[in-house]
């Protein structure tokens, strides 16, 4: 029988994180939004203490050793471990609390996700262990976007040249819109995973991802953005000038030519998590909109003829439908990753659907609540601003739609642009 429910262990984790988000994150949500570029020390310290105690890993499924329900998957010898499904459920709850604070929490972040996706066992041990052993809070960041290379990641011009005398990679170039870039470079013992090309003539095959650790000479933050939403999280520009890193800091096998495919594999893991974050924002907006609707005498009448519903009822029910459809697509992509099934198509589907749907849900919540939705009295206007980024970063909605079309029709990037 097909089940659309998450396992009991994952549901228990969701409940625990929801309680935490309600008590801790909602308390700081408005202040953090109004004080961009200022860290919420209580939040950072709380999350780092939890990380040191192993609680962040067990909440998110990231590095937890705790076993959960492990059903057999047809055709698979190994049981499914719900690591990605647990992570998706956790990210939804954390983003329900506050998406900006979720992104700002001291943890592996996108940089850590890249290491986990394509790094060797030795690299995972070296770079990820610090998130449970370092004395001070750490962040991991991923640097892809450049001034002239946004959605087309293959067009990046940052170079990584091998100095054969010292056996070091020398990075030169500029990266922009790096989530938690400042925190990773200046405020912690973390690292940045930078995408760079070893050979511009080789095109995509020349691109690899490189780990640049905190304090490496030649890496510096040149700008911190002022943004529409997720303002609790810093977004930085980083410049690499003759930045030397050890040979072993190239993720995966340095000799493999298909470097771009390995780097892009990171998105198969992270896009469902971005979708989960969007779902958390949308759910927060929908739930508050429903509460205000009920407080003002409204009632959702399920099961009656659609023609008898009020306009507000129809909107709220459609918001629920969009949210649930997005969640099921996201859970499927996460479950496939856990089962060891290639999920490139599903990861892009859930990201494309959710980015667009949740932006609509948040916008509709503001619209239905009128002046109250537009006012800072409520967090509704903030959730609308936070929602929009999910249709932009980790591949825009247009790019993910293009990826989906290519997979469905079996066309290459050259054949369908």
Which pairing describes strands 191-197 and 140-143: parallel, antiparallel, or unpaired? parallel
CA dist., res. 325 & res. 398, Å (int): 19
Q: Which tokens go with 180?
A: 């938690």
Nearest to 235 by CA among 141, 136, 106, 147: 141
How far, CA to CA in Å, does 109 sit from each of 14, 105, 179, 248, 297? Answer: 19, 8, 9, 21, 43
Distinct helix (H) and strand (E) counts, the chain: 14, 7
Rounded-to-integer distance, Cα 19 and Cα 344, Å: 33
Active site residue 125: no
Distances (CA, A) of 184 to 30, 114, 270, 297: 24, 14, 18, 48
Q: Catalytic residue among 92, 346, 378, 394, which?
A: 394
For residue 195, count CB atoms less than 10 angstroms from its CB and return exposed for 0-12, middle for 13-18, buried for 19 or more.
Answer: buried
CB–CB of 60/90 below 8 Å?
yes
Measured between alpha carbons, how far is 23 from 69 in angstroms, rounded to an integer? 28
Residues 319, 365 contacting (CB under 8 angstroms)? yes
Which contiguous run of DSSP H or E holds residue 261?
Answer: helix 259-295
| Active-site annotation, residues | 394
């Amino acid at each position: 029988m097909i089940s659309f429910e998450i396992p009991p262990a994952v549901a228990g984790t969701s409940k625990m994180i929801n309680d935490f988000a309600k008590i801790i994150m909602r308390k700081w949500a408005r202040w953090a939004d109004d004080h961009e570029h200022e860290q919420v020390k209580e939040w950072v310290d709380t999350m780092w203490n939890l990380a040191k105690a192993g609680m962040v890993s067990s909440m998110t499924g990231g590095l937890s050793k705790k076993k959960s329900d492990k059903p057999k998957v047809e055709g698979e010898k190994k049981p499914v471990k719900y690591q990605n499904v647990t992570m998706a459920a956790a990210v939804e709850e954390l983003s329900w609390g506050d998406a900006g604070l979720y992104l700002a929490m001291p943890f592996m972040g996108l940089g850590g996700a890249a290491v986990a996706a394509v790094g060797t066992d030795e690299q995972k041990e070296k770079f990820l262990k610090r998130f449970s052993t370092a004395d001070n809070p750490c962040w991991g960041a991923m640097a892809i976007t450049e001034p002239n290379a946004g959605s087309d990641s293959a067009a990046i011009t940052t170079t990584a040249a091998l100095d054969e005398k010292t056996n070091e990679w020398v990075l030169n170039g500029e990266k922009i819109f790096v989530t938690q870039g400042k925190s990773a470079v200046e405020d912690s013992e973390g690292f940045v995973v930078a995408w760079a090309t070893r050979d511009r003539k080789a095109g995509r095959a020349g691109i690899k991802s490189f780990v640049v650790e905190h304090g490496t000479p030649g890496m510096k933050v040149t700008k911190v953005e002022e943004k529409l939403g997720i303002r609790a999280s810093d977004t930085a520009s980083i410049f690499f000038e003759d930045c030397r890193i050890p040979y072993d800091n190239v993720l995966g096998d340095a000799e493999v030519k298909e470097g771009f495919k390995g780097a892009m594999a990171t998105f198969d893991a992270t896009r469902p998590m971005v979708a989960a974050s969007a779902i958390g924002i949308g759910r927060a907006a929908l739930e508050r909109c429903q509460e205000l609707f009920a407080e003002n005498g409204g009632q959702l009448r399920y099961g009656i003829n659609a023609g008898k519903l009020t306009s507000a009822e129809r909107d709220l029910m459609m918001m629920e439908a969009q949210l649930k459809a997005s969640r099921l697509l996201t859970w499927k992509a996460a479950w496939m990753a856990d089962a060891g099934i290639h999920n490139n198509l599903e990861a892009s589907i859930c990201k494309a659907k959710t980015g667009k749907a949740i932006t609509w849900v948040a916008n509709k919540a503001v619209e239905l609540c009128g002046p109250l939705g537009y006012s800072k009295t409520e967090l509704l206007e903030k959730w609308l601003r936070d929602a929009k980024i999910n249709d932009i970063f980790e591949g825009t909605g247009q790019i993910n739609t293009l990826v989906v079309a290519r997979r469905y029709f079996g066309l290459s990037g050259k054949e369908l642009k």
